[in-house]
């Protein structure tokens, strides 16, 4: 009881009432306890408004018209690219490619570059904790090329220890073509020291391509791609308060120019003749067909909203929420928390296993309390198998998560135990 009173006293970091008023879903569902932000974040009104403004006032295709609303659509679409570039510290906006999501971004790399550079001698490295989107494409590439697929276990803090020179020297060789790693784990919440990992890998083999899946990190961790030193970075808009169906692939210009296009069609063409085709320069080489114009514009509004709040403020809030959640869950002897013990080593994700209740049963009962969590393997089956669990329950938090949400979550777990045990 004393701990809970102390937490309540220390807790106010953000004006939760003010922040939640920015999210119309709480007006429609005032009792909603949304603890599934890792799957997708809620959308603030400013994002919805910008999408609506596009469809309502200048809903035209980009690049193709010399009339006013088409030119406005084109301008707003390219402004969105500039906003994304600034958000991730990319100096060259043409290195920012719009895709559908992180999954497509990673597949673009595997298809467009991986199939050029990998052969039977090649080694491709991933971690055991990767999301299937950053595991399966590389696994399949290794299988198709006849190369070697290496999987690195994470340590007790849930990070890939490739920043340690001794460990890296056992994994990275002159034949290592690609290393693909998460920035933040969608199960463990752990955050990889990407800059140090890249530096260590490049010191052993400067030609190794390092790919970063930043889907979970982009809304919580400040990213400066040129400072990180990685070759590619990918994320999804809907994980960062933006709409679904829009993603980002950032890559170094020289590598993007070397890559094959992932799709062929309109707007990625410079010239077509019967004899052959010349592709458009970056970034349009990779954006065939009509893009998700509204999605890009909505993503721009979302990133501006995050910048206005400040990633530092967001991090402090989610870290306090995470710390409070961990403390309460650990009071229950039947619950085992996965991932780092220290909340400071996590983003706002807490996955756990109940010794007596299956995650799906727990999730179903929590849903009756309007508590939304995720249950299953979270597209990370190899990680769960390596930990010896079939599935886990996952609660994840963001700027709109409150202490009251967590109290309701814990009460719902207690109710599930009364019903099922």
Residue 14: pLDDT band with limits 50, 70, 90: low
* Residues in Cβ contact with 123 at an 8 Å cutoff, skipping those fewer than 6 apart: 147, 148, 150, 173, 175, 176, 177
State the pairing for strand pair 176-182/209-213.
Answer: parallel
Q: Is the confidence at residue 262, as pLDDT, over 60? A: yes
Whether 267 and 372 map to the same domain: the answer is no
Whether 64 and 161 map to the same domain: the answer is yes
CATH code, domain carrying 221: 3.40.640.10
Tell me the pLDDT tens digit for each residue of 232-259.
999 999 999 999 999 999 999 999 999 9
Q: Which of 118, 230, 372, 379 is catalytic?
A: 379
Instruction: Give the chain's mean pLDDT.
Output: 95
Whether 176 and 193 map to the same domain: the answer is yes
Whether 95 and 123 map to the same domain: the answer is yes
What pLDDT was estimated at residue 5? 39
pTM score over 0.75: yes
Residue 73: pLDDT band with limits 50, 70, 90: very high
Domain count, the chain: 2
Residue pair 269/335 in contact by the 8 Å Cβ criterion: no
Whether 205 and 287 map to the same domain: the answer is yes
Alpha-carbon distance of 405 to 37, in angstroms, equals 13
Tokens describing residue 140:
């399949």
Whether 217 and 113 map to the same domain: the answer is yes
Q: Is the confidence at residue 231, as pLDDT, over 80? A: yes
Tell me the pLDDT tens digit for each residue of 267-325.
899 999 999 999 999 999 999 999 999 999 999 999 999 999 999 999 999 999 999 99
Whether 98 and 245 map to the same domain: the answer is yes
Tell me how crowded residue 202 is: count the other CB atoms within 10 A of its CB: 17
What pLDDT was estimated at residue 18? 84
* Last residue in a domain, options 273, 306, 339: 306
Give the mean model confidence (pLDDT) for residues 394-407.
97
Give the mean model confidence (pLDDT) for residues 153-161.
97
Whether 346 and 408 map to the same domain: the answer is yes
Whether 239 and 323 map to the same domain: the answer is no
146: Cα within 13 Å, side-chain hemisphere: 3
What pLDDT was estimated at residue 223? 98
* Last residue in a domain, options 288, 306, 324: 306
What are the φ/ψ torsions at residue 202 (nearest 5 degrees)? -70, -25
Give the mean model confidence (pLDDT) for residues 150-162.
97
Tell me the pLDDT tens digit for each residue of 103-133.
999 999 999 999 999 999 999 999 999 999 9
Whether 296 and 278 map to the same domain: the answer is yes
379 is catalytic: yes
Range of the structural domain that residue 154 is part of: 50-306
Alpha-carbon distance of 124 to 104, in angstroms, equals 19
* Last residue in a domain, options 306, 324, 350: 306
Whether 361 and 282 map to the same domain: the answer is no
Give the mean model confidence (pLDDT) for residues 162-184.
98
């Amino acid at each position: 009881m004393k701990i809970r009173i102390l937490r309540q006293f220390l807790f106010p970091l953000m004006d939760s009432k003010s922040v939640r008023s920015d999210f119309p879903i709480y007006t429609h569902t005032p009792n909603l306890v949304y603890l599934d932000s890792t799957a997708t974040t809620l959308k603030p009104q400013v994002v919805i408004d910008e999408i609506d403004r596009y469809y309502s006032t200048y809903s035209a295709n980009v690049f193709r018209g010399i009339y006013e609303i088409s030119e406005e659509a084109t301008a707003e679409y390219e402004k969105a690219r500039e906003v994304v570039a600034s958000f991730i510290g990319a100096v060259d906006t043409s290195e920012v490619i719009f895709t559908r999501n992180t999954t497509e971004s990673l597949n673009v790399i595997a298809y467009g570059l991986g199939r050029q550079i990998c052969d039977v001698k090649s080694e491709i490295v991933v971690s055991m904790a990767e999301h299937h989107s950053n595991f399966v494409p590389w696994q399949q590439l290794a299988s198709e090329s006849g190369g070697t697929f290496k999987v690195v276990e994470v340590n007790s803090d849930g990070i890939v220890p490739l920043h340690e020179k001794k460990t890296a020297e056992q994994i990275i060789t002159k034949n290592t073509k690609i290393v693909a790693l998460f920035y933040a784990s969608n199960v463990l919440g752990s955050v990889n020291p990407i800059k140090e990992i890249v530096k260590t890998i490049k010191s052993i083999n400067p030609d190794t391509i390092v790919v970063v899946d930043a889907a979970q990190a982009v809304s919580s961790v400040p990213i400066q791609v040129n400072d990180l030193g990685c070759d590619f970075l990918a994320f999804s808009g809907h994980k960062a308060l933006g709409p679904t169906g829009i993603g980002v692939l950032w890559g170094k210009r020289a590598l993007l120019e070397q890559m094959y296009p992932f799709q062929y069609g309109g707007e990625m063409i410079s010239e077509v003749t019967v004899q052959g085709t010349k592709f458009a320069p970056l970034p349009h080489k990779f954006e065939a067909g009509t893009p998700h114009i509204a999605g890009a514009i909505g993503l721009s509004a979302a990133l501006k909203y995050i910048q206005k709040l400040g990633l530092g403020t967001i991090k402090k809030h989610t870290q306090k929420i995470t710390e409070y959640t961990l403390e309460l869950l650990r009071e229950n002897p039947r619950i085992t928390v996965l991932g780092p013990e220290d909340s400071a080593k996590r983003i706002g994700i807490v996955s756990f296993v109940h010794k007596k209740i299956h995650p799906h049963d727990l999730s179903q009962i929590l849903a009756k309390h309007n508590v939304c969590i995720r249950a299953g393997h979270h597209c990370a089956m190899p990680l769960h198998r390596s930990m010896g669990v079939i599935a886990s329950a996952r609660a994840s938090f963001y700027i709109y998560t409150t202490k009251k949400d967590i109290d309701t979550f814990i009460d719902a777990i207690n109710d599930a135990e009364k019903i099922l045990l």
